[in-house]
Amino acid sequence: MASQGDKEGGTKQTFAERQGNLFADGFSFSGYERDLVMLSLGKQGFLNISGVSGADSLSDGRGSLFADFDNDGDLDIFLRAMHGPAHHLLRNNVGDSRNWLRVALRGTTSGHNAFGAIVRVTTKHGVQTKMVTGGSGFLGQSDPRLLFGLDDAEKVESIEITWPSGKKQELPAVAAGTSLLVVEGTAPTLLTDKTGKLPDPLTPEARVWKTLAFAKGEPLPDVTVAVGADQVKLATLLTAGRPALINFWATTCIPCRTEMPELQQLHGEGLEVVGISLDLPATRARIPGVVAGLKVKYPVATVDDEARGQLFRSPEVQIPLSIWIDAQHRAQAVFRGWSAKARAGVLELAGK
């Protein structure tokens, strides 16, 4: 039997040949890399805490910066991602009970931003050293204010600043929980930082609602749709006084083709289903063949750009997407994709 690195017939492949064959088969090692967060254990190395941190995902981070956005004494993470939503703000809720010191620097003889300044903070636990830096990853700038975690130390015994100009400045002891602004060569100023609570992240369902041009509980817009060569109102495809499931799909969407037979099964059991294809003009000719191949019998329509604008806030729509409307045709629930949970949710809404 040939090894994994061998060609058929037993000839040994080089690494470059194996890579080339994988690429030819459609594989790629670029994209969808998981985001990684490591916790320093000092001399014991690092511990992977990506999962418990909440940062672990397939978003493929392209840049990150660290800042105390809510001024609560710990660093939050702002992430620029390649896949999915472009920006992620990860609020840090760990360690709020521990003490801290914040130091902001402003140069005079040195540059105004004091890039390159070194600050050493001494507590009962030892000495911490940090440097003011500019730039962080891809088009990013982390918080220029230096934040020192003090654990249970209630005061900082001393602060030593080495400015880029070469000057050294020593500051007296200060209490934990203090924010200082130090202008090169002058006494420090105590700052009162405005604190606040960063908003809670949206639930997956709430994120879907944000993409729609109508709110939960509002009537589904009665847009003009195309059924074959006919232009009709969406309401004509619905039965007055009956709830229904509106399914948005496209011929280019593989998961859509997986769920549509299940929707057809529900339709056959008496649930009203209407499919709306979001195919662009270039691919609309495929719709009849796909519908016939999947043996879909419920009504299927298409929409133009004007109707899409009445349904969605953005031209970029993630599908498959289904919307449950009640007997008054008001939108009441959304389902991104299809799963056993989504099916159970639809059946519950339908009273089955």
CATH of the domain at 262: 3.40.30.10
3-state DSSP assignment of residue 61: strand
Whether the per-residue pLDDT at 302 is higher than 50: the answer is yes
Q: What is the DSSP letter of 198?
A: P
Q: What is the mean pLDDT of the chain?
A: 87
C-alpha 93/C-alpha 337 separation (Å) is 31
C-alpha 136/C-alpha 315 separation (Å) is 32
234 is a domain residue: yes
Q: Which of 142, 168, 191 is the last residue of a domain?
A: 191
90 is a domain residue: no
Q: What is the pLDDT of residues 152-169, one digit of tens each?
A: 999 999 999 999 999 999
CB 100 within 8 A of CB 195: no
State in Å, rounded, how far the first CA of the chain is from the last one. 54
Q: Give me the pLDDT at residue 135, please.
A: 82
Domains of the chain: total: 2
Same domain for 330 and 216?
Answer: yes
3-state DSSP assignment of residue 127: strand
Residue 159, token pair as written in the block: 């602060």
The structure's pTM equals 0.60
Residue 103, token pair as written in the block: 């130091």
Q: What is the pLDDT of residues 30-75, one digit of tens each?
A: 655 677 888 888 889 999 888 777 777 766 777 888 999 989 899 9
Same domain for 186 and 241?
Answer: no
CATH of the domain at 165: 2.60.40
C-alpha 144/C-alpha 125 separation (Å) is 24
Q: Give me the pLDDT at residue 339, please.
A: 86
Measured CA distances, 341 to 128, 338, 344, 345 (Å): 50, 8, 5, 6
Same domain for 120 and 220?
Answer: no
Whether the per-residue pLDDT at 27 is higher than 70: the answer is no
Whether the per-residue pLDDT at 331 is higher than 70: the answer is yes
77 is a domain residue: no
Whether the per-residue pLDDT at 2 is higher than 60: the answer is no
230 is a domain residue: yes
Q: Which of 191, 225, 244 is the last residue of a domain?
A: 191
- Per-residue confidence band for 19, with pLDDT thresholds at 50, 70 and 90: low
Q: What is the pLDDT of residues 115-128, one digit of tens each?
A: 999 999 999 999 99
* Domain extent for 143: 99-191
Nearest to 263 by CA among 337, 195, 189: 337
Same domain for 218 and 251?
Answer: yes
CA quadruple 76, 80, 83, 84: dihedral positive or negative? Answer: positive
C-alpha 162/C-alpha 165 separation (Å) is 8
C-alpha 116/C-alpha 131 separation (Å) is 6
15 is a domain residue: no
